Each structure stands twice: as structure tokens, then as C-alpha cells.
Amino acid sequence: MLLNEITDINILDDNENFLRNFLKDFYYKIIKTNDFNDFEKISNEWIKYQLESNDKEPEKILNMMINHKYSKYWFTSFIGYFYQFGIGCDLNNEKAIELYLLAINNNEVKIDSLNNNEGFDQLYLNVNDVDTFNLFINKNMIIGKYLLSIFYYKDIILDINYKRKKILNLQELAKNDDLEAQYNLAVCYQNGDGVKTNYRKAFELFLNSAKGKNLNAQYNLAICYMDGIGIKKDKKKAFKWFLKSESKHLVTQKKSERKEFERNLKLAIANDSIAQNYVGYCYENGKVTNKNETKAFKWYSKSAENGNAMAQFNLGISYLLKNSKNDKKAFEWLLKSAINGNTNGQCVLGICYDHGIGIDVNEKKAFEWYLKSAVNGNIIAQNNLGICYKDGIGTNKNEKKAFEWFSKSAIAGHANGQCNLGMCYKNGVGTDKNEKESFKWYLKSAENGNEIAQNNLGICYQCGIGTNKNDTKAFEWYMKSAVAGCASGQYSLGICYRNGIGTEKDEVKAFEWSMKSAENENDKAQNYLGYCYKNGIGISKNEMKAFIWFMRSAENGYAMAQCNLGFCYKKGIGTDKDEIKAFKWCLKSAENGYALAQLYIGNCYFDGIGIDRDINEACKWYDKAINNGIKGAESKLNNILSSIQG
């Protein structure tokens, strides 16, 4: 018995020593870690190695830590880690956090606790050293703080470590006269990126790098001299370094253009807002110097902040469309520009209100700003104002005023305005119908690149509207519209290939262009794709895909597709048979005026297919079908009426 008792004690001593050393080694591993990018992976591998090399099972070690007499004070952080990563247990993040917090709060345990009723005066396995006890409490607490911080703030910690490492690398390279490192380190000091902001150090580093002919450093050094960042303002030195920075970027060969750029640059340095906007424009468009949107943005910002309305507009557009995209800031600068009378700003502000860009949709305000801009001669706003009057957006519908504003925009050369004016003449919107005038304005708009007008012009040539019929020209204009991405043009081109209009018949090409149109949400093309897949035209037969395309077209409101989808459900084409759904979709089609669907709905009501039998409803729908030219409906209606009379 005594031998057995001694053996048990030796096993306990061995495990106790392992646990203490395990905890201590893990503690030192954490506090010596500088890079936490792969901390979790490395730590898990280390724990696995320690357990395997000491022939320890993770489940048993976890249980020993949990059941240890001083588990609460020594091992809660380590137990938490086991739970966080499922080492010897099921993964449990909530339990891990609870244990990390428990470890951190152990700093409230006082040194003299050993003399209280916890039994600390007789430490487990002959531990009677208060310092040792508190040492393990401290290690447990520190491990808990590290692990909880990593758990909650891993991304931030990794970013801080990355920035710290980056700064150290840059500092080392900068000492060795690496010009690019000096420049990048200067940017860090200037922006407080990974290091405390220090404009003087930033200036000095820019200066060293600039003297070494680093162009980016020269440009930023010029800004330092211009704005007094880390150095006293000096316009002459600013101008000198700006020119040096552009020495390899000036693309013009004309002395007059170069002199004009230099003249404006001097004025821009002197805080002339017009010149600042000009310099920004040069950078944005690659005029005189190479294109550089970042530099353009900076100059527009300076000019805009100095109250220049054009620059405020340009800055708004930069926020709207460029890499610095920020709809809210775009709106704010466009509003400033509009208030300051810039017609472009007023127009785009109207667009913002119209479409909810950087602000909630407000059709009334959209109309008001379109009106201001249009009255000031903006041709885009004139067209948009015409749309507002035509459709009653933010104002009462007024087709005559719509026509007047479309006319102003069209005469001024705006392609969209010309297209809309052509539409007015074609459909008699605010004016008498005039097919020749319609063709004339569609032609102008199409020649100016409007893809909708190109498709409409194709229709004019195909149908002889306002001009002589010419299938070849129709095909050519459909092609231009289709290539430009117009869904209607793509569908029209598909029809040409399908029926050999202005070109040879080609079912494959008809399918391909219809597919492009369908993917651009043209409901007619989507219906035609369904027809192609159902019948194997230009593509292998596939009833499931036929059903899918009929569904897409039907959901987009196309009456013929709604009827086709109904028949898919009726006959089980690409889907299960379902008379109720067949009735539902054919009813939608019938209500949208599709005659065949009206006949079918009449049959459904007469025979009680997918709906309860209703002779009155059957008569109603047969009558609608008759009025839409379906002769078969007439005999059915007559038979019902005869039976009633008989």
C-alpha cells in the first residue's frame, strides 16, 4: 500500500511540474512575440508539440487544469485558450472569453490571501511560497490580457504591428539613403501613419529625397514650401520644386502652353483659386503634363476651399466618379457649386436629388435645380427638365413644356435631347406628329452617338418611317446600337438575323444577340430565348432553360411571356404541371391585353380549369378575345349564349 501511495504522489508531482512549466513557457512565448500575424497558428502548433513530446493527452491536461486546486488563479487563461481553439474539448468562444476575464480579474487577489480560509497556507504539493503563488497569478493575468486583446482586437493589433514593422524598415532604409524609403517615411510622419505626426521630420525627409531627384518627394516638398508644412512658406522655392517634380512629366512641345502652365502654377501657389482649378484640370486631363488624378484632386480641393464654383463642381465629380468615391461629400461640394451659380453643378445636383445620390430622393428639388441649370443654358439640364415635364417628375405633367425644353437641348446639340425630340415628333408629344421631323432628329442624335436613337433610326429605315424603307441601313444602325450596349438595339439586331432583314438569316447569331439583350433585361428578348430553348432554335433544346427565360420575361411584365409561362405550367414544360399557376400567369397576360391568353382564361372559367367554373367570367374573356381578333372565341361565346337562350 505504501508503494502505491508513493507512486501516486510521483505521478502527481510529474503532472504538477509539467503544468507549471507549460504555463510559464506559454507566458514567455506570448510576451516575447513581436509579430502576431501567425500567433494563433504558431501557438497551436507549439502546444501540440509540447503535449506530444511529453506524451500528454490534451483532454487529460485540460481536465487537470480545470480540477487543479488553484485553477481559478493559475490556469483560467490557458483553459480559455483551449476552449477558444477546441484543444481537448469542443470549441466554445463564450467560455473562452469568460475565462480570460476571470484571469484578468485575479489581480484583486491580495498577497496576504494565503493566510485566509482558502487554505493557501498549505499549498498543493508542498507549495508554501507566497511569491510563487502570486507569480503564477500574475502570469495567468498577463496571458489573459494578451489573449483577450487578440480575441477582440486582432485586426487592430495586426495593423499596429504591420505599421510598426513598416516604420522600422523604412527608418533603416532611409538611414542608408534609400530615396523611396525617405519619401515613404516622410509621408508616414506627415499623416501620422504608424508614427507620431511630425511635420518637420516629414519636411527634412522630403528634402533629402528630393535632392536625390525623387519626383514624388520634389512635388511634396513643393507643397511643404507652398503651405508652410514643417517649414516657413516660400513661394519661390515651392515653384522651383514644382517645376523640378514635373521635369519628366511635361508632355507639351509648345512653349506657349508650357509658359501658360507655369504662369498658372505661380498664381496657384499664390492661392489664386482660378489658377488652382486650371492646374487641377491639367492634371486631370493630361494637358501640358502627364495625367495624375491624385494631384488633380489636391488642386481642385485647394481651389474649391477658396470658393471657386467650377473647382467645387470638379471636386464633387471627383468624389462621385473617381477613386476617392464618396457620394455624401460629392453632394456637399456639388451643392456649394450650385449655390455659387455653376450650371454644371446645378444640373448634377438635380441628378443627385433625382436618383438619391448622397441624399434622399427628392423629385421636387431635382426639378428645381434642373430648372435653374436649364434656364442658365445647360443642355443636359434642359433635356432632364423636358423629362420631368413629360413624366410629371417633381412638377405637373406638361407635354408642351416638355417639347419646348427638348427642343432647346436638341438645337444646342445634346444627343439625348435630340433623341427625345425625335420621340416627341414620332408620338405627337407636345406637338403634332411629324415622321420626317422625327427621322431628322433621330438621325442627328444617332450620328452623335446616342444608342437609343440608333435603334430608333433603324426602326425608321426598316419600316419606312419619315424616310424610304432600307433594310440594309436598318441593319447597320441596329448593329451600331447593339455594339454600344443598347438592349433594344441588340434585340432588333437579333430579329434581323432571325428574319434575314438587311443580312442573311443566321439562327445562331440571332440567338447570341438575343442573349445579350436578355441579359440586359429586355423582356422581349428574354421571351424569345425561352422560345429558342423550347424549340431548339440556334441552340440545343432545353425545356428547363426555356421555362427560366419565360419566367424572367413574365416577371418583367411581358404579356406574351406570361402566356408562354402559363402554358409551361399547363403542359409541364421545364417544370411540374400546375393548373392553378397556369391560370394565374395566363390571367396576368390576359389582363395585359394578350388575346390568346384571354381565350385561354375564357376556357378556364368555362371548364373550371385552375379556377372555379364561372360562365359570366368566361363570356367576359371570350368577348375580350373576340375584340382582339381571336375568331375561335366567337363560336365559343355564341355556343354559351345559345345554350342560355335555349
Q: Which residues pair with 123 in a beta bridge?
A: 127
CATH 2.30.40.10 fits 452-520, yes or no: no
Per-10-residue mean pLDDT, the chain, length 646: 33 76 88 75 89 91 90 90 92 88 71 44 48 83 84 61 74 88 91 91 94 92 94 95 85 83 94 96 92 94 97 96 85 98 98 97 98 98 98 97 98 98 98 98 98 98 97 98 98 98 97 97 97 97 97 98 97 97 98 96 96 95 95 89 73
Three-class DSSP labels, 129-185 = CHHHHHHHHHHHHHHHHHHHHHHHHHHHHHHHHHHHHHHHHHHHHHHCCCHHHHHHH
pLDDT of the residue at 239: 93
CATH numeric code, 524-645: 1.25.40.10
Residue 445 in contact with residue 437, Cβ under 8 Å?
A: no
Write the DSSP string, 104-122: HGGGGS-GGGGGSTT-TTS
Domain 452-520 identical in fold to domain 524-645? yes
Residue with cell 510598426: 164
State the pLDDT at residue 35.
66
pLDDT score for 449:
97
Predicted pLDDT at 403: 98
Q: Which amino acid is at 184?
A: N
Per residue in 405-447, pLDDT tens? 999 999 999 999 999 999 999 999 999 999 999 999 999 999 9
Domain boundaries, the chain: 14-109+128-168, 452-520, 524-645
Which DSSP state fits 54? T
pLDDT value for 109: 53
**Whole-prediction pTM value?**
0.71
68 φ/ψ angles, rounded to the nearest 5 degrees: -60, 145
Task: Report d(CA 18, CA 26) in Å as an integer.
Answer: 12
User: How confident is the model at residue 103, as a pLDDT?
Assistant: 85
**Helix-then-strand count for the chain, H and E:** 33, 0
The total of other beta-carbon atoms located within 10 Å of residue 165's CB is 14
- Give the pLDDT of residue 116: 46
pLDDT, one tens digit per residue, over 289-322 is 999 999 999 999 999 999 999 999 999 999 998 7
